[in-house]
Every structure is written in structure tokens, then in C-alpha cells.
Structure 1
Amino acid sequence: MKRRYLVGGALLLAGAALLLSTLWPLSESWEEKRVSLSIPESLSGHYSPTEFERWELHQSDTGKRLTLHVARYRDEAGTPRQVLLPDPESRQWQSWMELGEFLRSKVESNALVLAWWDDGQRIDFFSGRRVWVLQPPAEAFSSAERDLWRRLSGDFGDAEGKLAQLARWFAQDSEQALEAIARLAPDAPLYLLVANGNLSHVNEIERLAGKKLPLEVRIFPATENLHGQIASVQRWAGEKGAGYLPQKVPGGIAAWRIARAPENTDEDSVPLLVRLLPFTTSLENPLSGLERVHQSSDGYLTLYRRR
């Protein structure tokens, strides 16, 4: 399947981390500047951060810039860890603060939470709840990307191949994947967290799963005619799509659509990741084996519990 991209220059300014690995390749030429910041008063987690930094990344040959925020802390065993966090002024920051509070107060202490590795790090930091995997393997990234992602993730790991297994479940038929996931912790509460930002990890998921996802993405540049922009998104999504999910990004809207299966095939299964994310058709047909127990007000984070 061929993905279609239309990327405006504004998208590639600082803050475009949402589509970092999906819309343009990373290289080894990123220059990095770390700026120590005061720990935000609103930063509330299970662990107390020891440092809070802003990382300013720059490619001198292309002019691309990226700004990220990183908190450092020590877990209960004293192991130093780091976690990527949203901009403290962003709506996503508030969404994670709310989810952290929900995890600490409403989710059982013996629960297991499945999430992609970067969300797993945030779950660990904000709640201390047990997560499936915290570090990605080097194989999740192309050779040109690995140096940067090693720094961003706090180093590679996952000797047991858990992230690859999660990728295979995400790419598998949703019902079959849920049957396999249910066997992970038969005697403990089991949760699944998805974030719309998981779409920025599509390349990682496909590489580890060894399978393409039926997804296409297009960037619609910002315009003063908001209604016309929305109409363009809906028209594009309806041309060859079986559901869509729009996301606001710097410079416009990133619209993802579920690609319809060719008419000469009888493939009608939908991958688990697509069913978990708030695509229009997923909202209309929720998974029966999961209960949605928390969703951020902006729809960015969704937490499910196995029934």
C-alpha cells in the first residue's frame, strides 16, 4: 500500500513530533541542545522528577527543528529513567495529568497496562502501574534513525521482544488479537491505552509486525476557510476510505483514513490498533471485549479495560 503525503513547511517546525517518524525520515545529523528548566508545578506523578529539560533538535542541512520535553526520575528500585512529555502549555499535557490521576486513583495496583513504549514510560512515571514494555528495541527503527531514538527513549532494550509482540497484536485482526491478549494476565486486571499519537509510530509498528497497516495519511495546510478545509478532509476521506481520524498539527490538519480493501478480495478484518483509535467507524462499532473507562476530553488518550 502506498501512503500519500502532502507536507507543508510549517509542519516541520518545532512541535511537529506527532508525525515525527511517519511523515519524514530521521537522520543521524540532528544537533541537540538541552536546556534545564524549573519543574512545572502542575507536573504530578507517582515519582518525583529530579530534572526537567527542553531538548531543541536541529538539522543544519535541512533547517528542520523539533522541540521536546524530558523529565528524569528514579523508579522504586533506584534505576534512573527518563520520560518524554508534552509541552507544559499544551492540551496534551493536561490530558496526561488527568490520566495520571485516573490511573493512580481508579486502576488497581496489580493491574497490567499495555501501551506503546513511550506511553508505557509515561504510565510508569505518572502512576507506577505495571506496564508491558518500557524500552523499544533497536530493530524498531531504521539505521539512520537509531542514534536519535536511542537518546529519546533513554536507550534500547526489550530483550524479550514484547514490543514486537504488541506490534503484531496491533496489526492483527482485532478479535483474534484480543483473545491472545486476554491470556497475558488471566488473574489480574488488564488495561489497554492508546493515544492518537500512536499514529506517529506506524512505521515502527509495521517494521516490528512485518505487516502493513491499512492506513493512509494526508496533510491539509491551514487555511482561513475552516469549513472548506473540513469539507476537503471529509471528501478525501470518503473517496477510498472506510473511516477517518483528523488531527490538528502545526501548519494544518493531518487526516488519516482506513484504506478500503480491494473489491476483488474478501478481506474484511480490521487491525486492533485501528479499532482502538477513535476513527469514525471504530466509534460506531466498539469492541465488545473491552470497556472504555477513561478518555481525555480532547479524545487524544483512551484507556480500555478487559471485560
Structure 2
Amino acid sequence: MKKPNPLSMADLNRLPLLLGLGLVLAGSAWMIGNAWKAQHPSARHELLDIRPGSDLRDSGISPRFPVERLSNYRIETGRGVDIRLGIVDYRDDAGQARSVIVYPANPGTGLAAEPGTRMSLWGSTAQAIREHTQEDALFLSWWDNAQRIHFLTGRETWPRQAARSGFADSPLRDFWIKAAGGAARDEQPAIQLAKWLTMDAEQALADIRRALPSNRPLYWLVCVDDLARLGEIEALSGVKIPLEMRYFPPAPNIHAQIAAVRRWASEAGDLGNYLVQQIPGGGVKAWRITTEAGSRTLLARLLPFTQALENPLPDTHLVHQSTWGAYLVIHEILPART
């Protein structure tokens, strides 16, 4: 099996800066994650139009399965932000009806897969999955990522359905369940995934190796957008994740902005463990972990936080990361060394 070379230490040292400069997601798409946890009582959704499956093919995205239709929606969060997304309906090889969420490049411009947009990054990641993982590979990922992996590559994923209890406090719960193609009848897989993410990383990997088939290649795909799923993860795991987020407005000097982020991250003590997302207009969203135990969780070790970049998880292999910053990252879970 062909695999890319692992990152050099120079690459690792540059990644915090690349995260600040490279992850430019067009339009207001960076705000999509906010709708997942929108609590405003006036939050609602509106169907804009339904298009034939050929509209998605024209975007440059190459799905593994034939597309039946594409439904475009606008989400009003109640905070003055309108968010656009699409729901693709398709059937898998067994003829089972499935759904998957896709993102427009820019509001009002359709689903053109322009460089640096969510769908272009997913397109390149899907290509990496096809080239660098085996056909019998099993992918672990949050349910929306898992659905896109299956839709774009046909690889098996676990779990692939949303748990209704993860949206207990969301006024948009019914919409997200519809977008997911229905709620999971058995919520235990989603609950287990959430618990692994909040556990000590090395203990979680040991549990994963015991719980999942040992005769299949195992991979975990993480996405920076997983940070917008914290409400779901906490609701399902019963664990409060020690993460804080702060918005930093545009600054005339990018180096001054980065310095400000680092100062803020260091306020959490000696940890200085942070991740930065560039957003349109020049501002950034910065996330910091506030406890040592939080820095040891699987979520923190899989995502491109600074400490995770400096100290990769043992018995894992970095298979792929998005070239525009580390928006999407794939780790192979290797057998434990004896």
C-alpha cells in the first residue's frame, strides 16, 4: 500500500502558522458549525430548492454512488447569520437510501469546488483515501464526516448515524436528524465514539483495538469542524471538555495577531496548547485547552493542536492532512507494539 511520507519536524513547527494563514474557507462557510449548536429560540431552516443529481457532478465532486437529488437549505441561527448547506440523497450498492451533508463554496454561487473551500478539501481527502487506504478499511469519525467518507469513497465507516440525544437542547434537532437520514436506532456506537474522544488518548486507542476487528485496517478521520460538535460530544459522553474559544478580529500585522493568540493560549497556564482557524475578513478563531488532562484526550491528540503536532500519538501513522492547513487529518491506528 502506498503511503505518503510523514511530516518533517520543520513541517510540524510551521503548522500553527499554516493553520492561521492557510485555512481560508470561502464566504460565510466557516460559520456552518455554529448552526449545529444553535440554541436561539428563533433558529429555523428553509428549503431553497431541489436540484437534480447532475448539479453535484457539475461541481467537480466525484461521488462513489449515483446521486438522486440535491436539496439546498438556508439555516437562520437567530443571531443574524444565514448559513447555506446541501443535503444529497443517494442509494448505496445495496440499494439503501442514504443522505449526506455537503457545503456550498459561497452563498448563492452553487457548489463549485473552489480551492480552499470545504468541498474541495473533502474532494482531495477522498482522493487520498482511495489512493492510500485499503478497500476493506474501517474509518472511525463523527457521523457527518463518516457519511461523507462513505459517499465519496465507498469505504465503510463507524458509526454513520446521528444520535438523537446528542441534539437534546437544539431547536434544529429535527432538521439535523433529517439531514442525517434519520436517527440511529442504537445510540451506543455514537456514545462509545464520544467517550473515546474524551478519554485519555492512549487508553482510548487500547480500547478501540479491543473493541473493533483486529483483521481490518483502522483509520480515524478528524476535521477541525469537529470542534463545532462539542455540544453533541459532551451530551453523549457525559464529559465536559476543557476547551475555550475566542475570536480575534483582523489585525494590520498578522504576526501581531499570532502573538496575541499565543499570549491568550498561555493564560491557561504552562500548557499553551492551542489551534487556530482563519476566517474570512482576516479574523481568527482560536481554541485553547485549559487542563493537562484535556491535552491528553483523544480529541486533542487527533486534532492539530500545537502539542499534538509536537508529540504525535504512538502506534499511529499520519496518512493525510489537507494542504490548506490541517482542516482534515487521517490517522491510521496501528497494532500496539509488544
* C-alpha contact 1:172 1:272 (8 A) present in aligned 2: yes
Q: What is the match of residue 255 of structure 1? A: 286
Deviations 1:9-33 (A, max 9, x none): xxxx9531134335x4254640412
- The percentage of aligned residue pairs carrying the same residue is 36
The two structures have a TM-score, normalised by structure 1, of 0.86
Q: Which runs of structure 2 are paired with 1:9-48 in the superposition (5 Å)?
A: 14-15=28-29, 16-22=31-37, 24-25=38-39, 27=41, 29-37=43-51, 38-39=55-56, 40-48=58-66
Distance 1:235 1:303 in 2: 30
Aligned-partner SS, 1:240: coil
Distance 1:14 1:296, change over 3 A: closer
The whole-number CA distance in structure 2 between the counterparts of 1:223 and 1:268 is 30
In structure 1, C-alpha distance between the alignment counterparts of 2:258 and 2:35, rounded to whole Å: 23
* Pair 1:130-2:145 in alignment: no
**In 2, Cα distance between equivalents of 1:112 and 1:31:** 33
Q: Aligned pair 1:98/2:124, yes or no?
A: yes
- Tell me, in whole angstroms, the C-alpha distance in 2 between the residues paired with 1:255 and 1:268: 16
> Aligned partners of 2:133, 2:152: CA distance in 1, in Å?
12
AA in 1 matched with 2:33? L
Provide the residue aligned with 1:215 in structure 2: 243
The 1:121/1:26 distance shift into structure 2, 3 A limit, reads farther
Checking the alignment, whether the CA contact within 8 Å between 1:170 and 1:272 is kept in structure 2 is: yes
Residue 84 of structure 2 is aligned to residue 67 of structure 1 = yes
One-letter amino acid matched to 1:104:
R
Corresponding residue number in structure 2 for 1:245: 275
Aligned to 2:196: 169
The answer on 1:200 being equivalent to 2:228 is yes
Aligned-residue offset at 1:248 = 1.9
Cα separation, 2, equivalents of 1:186 and 1:31: 43
In structure 2, runs of 5+ residues without a counterpart are 1-26, 105-112
On the 8 A contact 2:36/2:229 being kept in 1, the answer is yes
Offset of residue 297 of structure 1? 0.6
Aligned pair count reads 288
Indicate the larger mover: 200-209 or 147-156: 147-156
Distance 1:84 1:150 in 2: 11
SS at 2:67 equivalent: coil
- 5+ residue gaps, structure 1: 1-12, 262-266
Aligned structure 1 segments of 4 or more residues deviating by more than 6 angstroms: none
CA deviations on 1:67-92 (whole Å, 9 max, x unpaired) are 11222211112122121113233532
Q: CA deviation at 1:56?
A: 1.4
Question: How far, CA to CA, are the matches of 1:225 and 1:288 in structure 2?
Answer: 37
The 3-state SS of whatever aligns with 1:50 is strand
TM-score normalised by structure 2 residue count:
0.79
Tell me: CA distance 1:245–1:19, structure 2 relative to 1, closer, same or farther (3 Å): farther
- What is the aligned counterpart of 1:300 among 321, 327, 331? 327
Write the distance in 2 (CA, Å) between the matches of 1:120 and 1:229. 34
Tell me the amino acid that sits aligned with residue 167 of structure 1.
Answer: A
TM-superposition CA deviations, 1:184-205 (whole Å, max 9, x none): 1111111111111110101110
How many angstroms does 1:152 deviate by? Answer: 2.6
Q: Are the aligned partners of 1:33 and 1:55 in contact in 2 as well (CA < 8 Å)? A: yes
